[in-house]
Each structure stands twice: as structure tokens, then as C-alpha cells.
Structure 1
């Protein structure tokens, strides 16, 4: 099922790239909304979101919160994360190192600056993952939503824009779970949920140092787990 979805999203992404390169969607144009694209390609909104994430990672489109997705260029962006390689362990390690460089500081800023509205969004996303069976089915989207909520709580407009640019492709866990990698099971999800809770609670207490440390522990722990897999 996962391979089929990835295949569909790649087909949609490829067609959208061709339309952009042909000038059908010019730089600055707004793409149709997810529902319209889903009808056009006869796919689910989840497939459309993954296709848009692919285009975003190529620097072809950008998301503007509350407005939509716009064509930003015809490729050649400096930052490029290949969707085809995001299931490879070597690529996952590099992506996690990138996240470590950004998200530790984001957690500290969120603890320092969060308001009740942004905190509520973080806690809501955390509560979603309490049902591990549902979490396993929505791991990429819910994980990304949690980290995006923290980025938004920083009050730094570039933090969520950076996260939106690289998109859910930076969340490797669900890809490995769906690939049936050994030991990435319910216990793994529970551990990730506990680590998320520690981050959220530090932000709730406005404990800047603990928020940074909790995020660092979370991401470094993930790095170590994936490094062990490369030795398996």
C-alpha cells in the first residue's frame, strides 16, 4: 500500500513539474487546492499533499499559510531533498542532522515565546498521538504537524517557512515503519510519543533549557537508532 501511494504521488508530482516547466503554471501562480487536484488526478488528498511536498523540496513551489501553494521557480533550488532517497538510511541520517541544527533552537524559542494559542496547538497535536494504533496509520502527518506547531510557536516567521519548504519528507519514521524495518514497532511509537511529551511539557512550563535538551535528546536518539540500523 505504501509503495502504491508513493507511486501515485510521484506520478502527480511529475505531471505538475511538466506543467510548471511548460508555463501552464507560471511563477507566482497559485496551484489548485488539494480537493481540485485530487479530482483532476483521481487520487486522495494525502497523495496530493505528498506530491506537493516533493515539489516543495525541489524548490518549485512554496506554501503560504492560510493562502495556498504558489509556483516559486522552475527548479534548481539550493536546498534539495530527493523524495526517492528519503527511505535510504544514509539520507535519513543527513536529514536528522539538518533537523538537529534547526529544531533544538526552535524548541527553546517556543518555550520562551509561546502563547496560549500556540501551546494549545502543540498539545492538541501531542494528544492525537496518544492512540498508538491511529498514530501508526498517520505517523508522518501527525509527527510533522507536532514539529510544525513548535516552529510556529517560536514567533520567528522563518521557522515554519523553513519547515514547510522541506515538508513532511523530513520525517523518516513512517517510511521505515511501512518498510517493515525490524524493531520499529508499537514500542518504538510509544517511545517517540514519550519524547514528544517531554518536549511539549517543557514548552508548556516555559523551561527554555529543558525544551532544548528534550528536543536534542529526541533527535540525537533517533540518529543513534538509525545508525544502529546501518550496522545491522
Structure 2
């Protein structure tokens, strides 16, 4: 009995619990898109500015997050109720000095209501309660690019012959590499494209390839207000110690 009590006290002092999970920092997710924010990362301080990429046509109301250059066509939509419509996409761009401008966060704005809580983005097949420690749900990036993708756009891509899909990807590469610098982001990729009935918003993924989680903000009525993908450039989450 004494040993159990002692272990519980040690766990509490260490801030460790059996169900400890990665949590977003709401103040950072808010401030990064507010203008004039200076973020922190590994002892460094990075000024952050906001770039409006455009409006995503979410014609189907189904949202996928993925690397647009490695799509299979079978990506699952996030488990969110989103009315079909056009939604702004903002990029929080960190000036890291010698390492240049890096897209730290990408945000899809679904509502102007303030979020009162945040949850990790999941598909219908995923259960956030199963996550432990530093585990997260997210998507892998192998082409240095992330995206918000409309379900209708993905279906249109899947219907294309493989050679047409490949040619379209090459066109995206050219246009996206040209658009990034025009938005004040040297050497960064950024592109808003219409595909079939919907759209795809594409952007460089922070430092490059990796595995990235997205977070959903909810208002007081439980409706989603935004989806934010964190590319690990700034300290935007709290990770439990092992």
C-alpha cells in the first residue's frame, strides 16, 4: 500500500500519468495567427507572420490531410461535420534566420467563433483515447509538402489515368515553387488548385519530410472552428516525458 502511494506521488511530481498524451498549446495556436508573434523552439526565437494562401473549395464537406504528391486516392476523411463551402487557408511562417522562412503551421478556418478546446484530428477509424505518451495520429510526408484536400477533388484525381495524374503533379510543382516566393516565402512551396468540383491547398511542410499531426479547435457549441497542422518548427505542443 505504501509503495503504491509512493509511486503515485512520484508520478504526480513528475507530471506523468498513465494516460498522458501530446497536447496542443492553445495560446500558441492562437497567437501564431494573430500577427506580431515571436515563437520559441529549442531555445531559439522566431518571428512569425501570417500568409493568406486563398480559399479552399470544400465542395463535398469532407476534408483529407495528406502529402499531395504521394496520394493513393484512398485517403480517409477526417471525422468532422463541415458544411460544404469555401474556407480560408492561412500559413504561419517562421523566419528561422539562416535556415530561411519555414511554414510552421497551416490553418483551415471553418468559423470565426473562438475555439474553447482542441482535439487531435482523427478519421472515423481512429480513437484518440488509444494514444499514449508521444504517439499522435497524422500523416507522413515524403515530398516535403502537406495539404488540405476536398473529398470531391480526391475522387477526381483517383479517376485520372496514372500518366495524367503524374503530369498534373509536375504542373503543381512548377506553379507551387513560383507561388511561394510571390507570397514572400523564398524557396517555399504554396499552391491553391481546383480539381474537379473541389480544391486542394498545398504548402511546404516545415523542415521537410516527417510525420505531422493536425489539431481541431471547437467552439462552445462543439462545432469545429479550425483545423491546424503542426509541422514541428515551433513549440506548439506539449509532449509527455517518457
Which of the two has higher C-alpha Rg?
Answer: 2
User: TM-score surpassing 0.5?
Assistant: no
Instruction: Tell me the TM-score normalised to structure 1 length.
Output: 0.27
- Specify which structure has the bigger relative contact order, considering alpha-carbon pairs within 8 angstroms and separated by 6 or more residues: 2
Of Structure 1 and Structure 2, which has the larger fraction of its residues in strand? 2
Of Structure 1 and Structure 2, which has the larger fraction of its residues in helix? 1
Instruction: Tell me the TM-score normalised to structure 2 length.
Output: 0.27
